[in-house]
């Protein structure tokens, strides 16, 4: 089943019910940690916080291989525009 974040729905389809809120999910996450969380709307496969406590999202380098491939970590602000 597809999963969509509140942030994606707010930007793209306000009538669509969202599955999770990125900000709420990482609220208590320590800096330098991450966990798997997929948003089919934005396309990320994990969320985390960098050493400066900034939210980062793991974007697959190869869109056809979201499981087991490499990722590029991008800032929350870069993806959520």
**pLDDT (0 to 100) of residue 42:** 95
Q: How far is Cα of residue 32 from the mean position of the Cα atoms in its chain? A: 15
**Given this model, what pLDDT does residue 69 score?**
82
Q: What is the pLDDT of residue 32?
A: 97
Report, as ranges of residue numbers, the positions in the chain whose pLDDT lies below 50: none
**Residue 12: predicted pLDDT:** 96
Stated pTM of the model: 0.90
Contact call for residues 72 and 3 (beta carbons, < 8 A): no
């Amino acid at each position: 089943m597809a999963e969509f974040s509140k942030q994606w729905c707010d930007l793209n389809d306000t009538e669509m019910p969202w599955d999770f809120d990125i900000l709420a999910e990482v609220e208590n996450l320590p800096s330098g940690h991450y966990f798997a969380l997929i948003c089919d709307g934005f396309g990320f496969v994990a969320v985390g916080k960098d050493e400066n406590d900034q939210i980062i999202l793991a974007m697959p380098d190869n869109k056809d291989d979201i499981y087991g491939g490499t990722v590029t970590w991008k800032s929350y602000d870069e993806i959520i525009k």
